[in-house]
Amino acid sequence: MSLAVRVIPCLDVDAGRVVKGVNFVDLVDAGDPVEMAKVYDAEGADELTFLDITASSDDRSTTFEVVGSTAEQVFIPLTVGGGVREVDDVNRLLRAGADKVGINTGAIARPEVIAEITGRFGNQVLVLSVDARRSDEQPSGYEVTTHGGRRSAGLDAVEWVKRAGELGVGEVLLNSMDADGTKQGFDLEMIRAVRSVTRVPLVASGGAGRLEHFAPAVHAGADAVLAASVFHFGELTIGQVKDSLRREGIHVR
Amino acid sequence: MTAKVAVLDYGSGNLRSALRAVERAGAEVVLTTDQDVALEADGLLVPGVGAFAACMQGLREVDGERLIEKRLIANRPVMGICVGMQILFAQGIEHGVQADGCGEWPGTVEELQAPVVPHMGWNTVEPGAGSRMFEGLEDASFYFVHSYGVREWLLEPPPAFPQPVVTWTSYGPERFVSAVENGPLWATQFHPEKSGDAGAQLLRNWVGTL
């Protein structure tokens, strides 16, 4: 046997509730994160990802509560991202019950924070989350964006992943802002481009709409596939996605 | 009588899942740095995340080496998880720098050489003959996340001693120790507390020995 390809549902959490919008606008409330986490666990999810999109720091404490209750009730790995800027943010999330922490804008603003975090907690706790889109402005043809894809960070996405790997991140979550919400499939070319420059596990995100979309992402180099709305709204189940991967000869749990 | 398990609190990381998972396995659980509490518990769980050297330093700060040693001399169960397993070996080598471990077992923790590292996700195990840890779990998958491992098992005790049961896992070109049962000292490279129902059963198997 070998390492299984992971299927990961992602829950966007705002002030303790799950939301997910198409292309990150028009957010729709889709439920209680702890209850949804239990359902996904029962369906065979290999990990869970919470993206905390809570804008105000006053509401951040609800995130810790949600992370804590999830960790106490669901015994699969939990990654939490959103608003992580420094070592202390990571420490608080790990203490609350997160196993891995995602960093995005915080690392773009100050790349040294990657080494600060991994030096203390190890590489395996830090996931670099990259919101990338196609752009003629960058040598690789892909640029990093911030603010839910509304702004360019002025960075080449492939170069950024390479550098972050050297700085010590333990995993990369690659989200295609072009494909996100379209349900037209993952950006396979971008997955291939990023895979070629990094040795750390790669999670593909953005664009999953139908069962046949998942296996190509794995064949393009993803170690895990992540999706949100197709799972939340019951269009696809984790089990169906795993069956579709199995049929393509991909090992899943 | 409900078994009492002390979880050694000597660093950072997610201990909440470990505490609840052990509780779910039927034990009474306490998070502690207190020597007496940790000595008196029926079982001691030694978690561990991060780097080998940093983990050893944290362990020394709570006098954890001596604690483990004292318990083992009295045949009191100890279980190490992830880096909590690695630090039981003689030494670890990270970025070319060698650090001493607890030395309960001979052997070296080395960087994994695979196309994708860390080894992250669910993988299967080949349980050693007579394993109690994996009773009912022969085909189960467990959650791993690590960049280092032990490629060689070197301890071969004389026949009069309890024989260690060693479990292995393969990842790409690598094959490494994924669990050990050696008298009162058990350890897993994977995270049973994050391995769903299979992990829960494994912890029940351990708690059942306490």
pLDDT digits (tens, 9 = 90+) for A208-242: 999 999 999 999 999 999 998 898 888 899 999 99
Decide if pLDDT at B88 tops 50.
yes
> Does A223 participate in catalysis according to the annotation?
no
User: Comparing C-alpha atoms, which of A238, A239, A186, A228 is closest to residue A11?
Assistant: A228
Residue in A75, A125, A242 to test binding to B, most B beta-carbons within 10 Å: A75
| Cα distance between the two ends of chain B | 10
pLDDT at B173 over 90: yes
pTM of the full structure: 0.95
Marked catalytic residue, from A41, A46, A52, A131: A131
Q: Hey, are the CB atoms on B118 and A71 less than 8 Å from each other?
A: no
pLDDT at A24: 37
What is the model's pLDDT at position B192?
97
The pLDDT value given to residue B66: 96
Residue A16: band (very low, low, confident or very high) from pLDDT cuts 50, 70, 90: confident
| Minimal Cβ distance to B12: which of A6, A76, A91 | A91
Q: Is there a contact between A97 and B16 if contact means CB atoms under 8 Å apart?
A: yes
Contacts 24+ apart (CB under 8 A), A245-248: A245/A5, A245/A7, A245/A214, A245/A215, A245/A218, A247/A215, A248/A215, A248/A218, A248/A219
Pairing of strands A48-52, A17-22: unpaired
CB A95 to CB B14 under 8 A? Answer: yes
The more confidently predicted of residues B16 and A198 is A198
Q: Which residue of B has its CA nearest to A68?
A: B16
Q: Which residues of A103-137 are buried (b: 16+ CB within 10 A; e: fewer)?
A: bbbbbbeeeebbeebbebbbbbbbbbbbbbbbbee
Range in A21-25, A81-85, B49-53, B152-156 with the lowest mean pLDDT: A21-25
Contact residues on chain A for B54, CB-CB shorter than 8 A? 120, 122
Query: By the CB < 8 Å criterion, does A77 face chain B?
Result: yes
Calculate the average pLDDT of chain A: 91
- Nearest by CB to residue B120, choosing from A2, A96, A171, is A171
